[in-house]
Amino acid sequence: MTGPTPDKAVDLAERRPGPTARTRSRVRRGGRRGSRLIGWLFVLPALAFYVVFVLRPITLTFQYSLYTWNGIGPSTWAGAGNYLKVFTDPDLFQSILNAVKLIVFFSAIPVLLGLAIASAIRRVAASRLALVARTVIFLPQVIPLVAAGIAWSWLLSSTGVINQVLTAVGLGGVTRAWLGDFSTALPAVGVIGAWVLLGLCTLLLLAGMSKIDPALYEAARLDGAGPLREFVSITLPSLRQEIAVCVTVTVIAALASFDIIYISTQGGPGNATMVPGLEIYYLAFSERQVGVASALAVVLMVLVIAVALPIQWLTRDRSS
């Protein structure tokens, strides 16, 4: 009676058909649950950051936008009052319009000019000139926006290089303090933005062009296509994705612009270059109207999403 009886020896738990199968499947299911848990564990740090630094501020901003609050003292419920103010106060609404106007400079010019420059560089792709051109054009992207703003405010000042050049070529009559003149301040700020964003667009478009199969061009040329035809029929359609990225990034840069304008004009002269980003900052930290500032911030966020989503949809590759 020392060892187990044969019956008992055979009758080991794992050999019993029913329970064993159940156990196995339970183990398998448990394992899947475990790996799912481990998956969440990997996501957790990033998710925590996202919740604390993105979702929480957005929620709080929305909450603040419903109150009249100076940032320190007690607050009072304002409901939709702050939103009403954003759309009825001519200064606040004008700032949104200015941002829309900036899209021409921040988005249209860099994308169109970027396409032209990228095509030109592609034609001389192998030469040293292409390398130099690429570097020079991308350089503004590397320079901090604050430095760019300072450098350009010197260039555009009444005694700056731009006016010196204009005077030298006999156009002394049009010289002015470009950033201090009501009619030229917004375009002048736009030129700085165009200069900064041109490099990014050119580089993105160049990268896209290098992916295009050279055989396509060869075939087109055999069919008698000229450079313009090649560009319209092959280059442009192949760059759909890259152009979408360029337009999205630059439109958001225009709508949410802050640094360049804060450094070069601070919204002046007379609110001519005021944009929502700067207005939010003034409202929150100088006027201490945290509620209105938050409402404008929410409006700006919705505006950016409303503009960026259709761009994504329009340029999506529908063949796939």
User: Measured from the CB of residue 183, what is the shortest distance to other proteins in angstroms?
Assistant: 9
Judged by CB, which is closer to other proteins: 224, or 270? 270
User: Measured from the CB of residue 258, what is the shortest distance to other proteins in angstroms?
Assistant: 14
Q: What single-letter amino acid sits at 24?
A: R
The answer to whether 102 and 275 are in contact (CB under 8 A) is: yes
Q: Tell me the two tokens of residue 309.
A: 């989503």
**Is 71 strand, coil or helix?**
coil
Q: Which of 74, 85, 2 is CA-nearest to residue 293? A: 85
* Rg (the chain; Cα; Å): 30
User: Measured from the CB of residue 276, what is the shortest distance to other proteins in angstroms?
Assistant: 15
CB burial string 134-170: b at 16+ within 10 A, e below? beebeebbeeebeebbebbbebbeeebebbeeeeeee
User: Measured from the CB of residue 77, what is the shortest distance to other proteins in angstroms?
Assistant: 7
Rounded (10°) angle between helices 56-64 and 290-314: 130
212-216 contacts at long range (C-beta below 8 A, 24 or more positions apart): 212/238
Judged by CB, which is closer to other proteins: 58, or 132? 58
Q: Which of 273, 109, 97, 276 is CA-nearest to residue 185? A: 273
User: Measured from the CB of residue 165, what is the shortest distance to other proteins in angstroms?
Assistant: 17
Judged by CB, which is closer to other proteins: 23, or 70? 70
User: Measured from the CB of residue 284, what is the shortest distance to other proteins in angstroms?
Assistant: 9
User: Measured from the CB of residue 153, what is the shortest distance to other proteins in angstroms?
Assistant: 8
Judged by CB, which is closer to other proteins: 20, or 59? 59
Nearest 5°: CA angle at 105, between 99 and 106? 70
Q: Tell me the two tokens of residue 190.
A: 């736009």
Judged by CB, which is closer to other proteins: 35, or 70? 70
| DSSP-H helix ranges across 104-184 | 109-123, 128-142, 145-155, 161-168
Judged by CB, which is closer to other proteins: 187, or 269? 269
Residues that bind other proteins (CB under 8 A): 56, 59-60, 63-64, 67, 69-75, 77, 91, 157-158, 176-182, 265-271, 282, 285-290
| Backbone phi and psi for residue 182, each to the nearest 5 degrees, phi listed first | -55, -40
Judged by CB, which is closer to other proteins: 196, or 272? 272
The answer to whether 199 and 141 are in contact (CB under 8 A) is: yes
- CA-based max dimension of the chain: 119
Report the C-alpha gap between 46 and 58 in whole angstroms: 17
Judged by CB, which is closer to other proteins: 129, or 150? 150
Q: Tell me the two tokens of residue 204.
A: 């993105």
User: Measured from the CB of residue 64, what is the shortest distance to other proteins in angstroms?
Assistant: 6
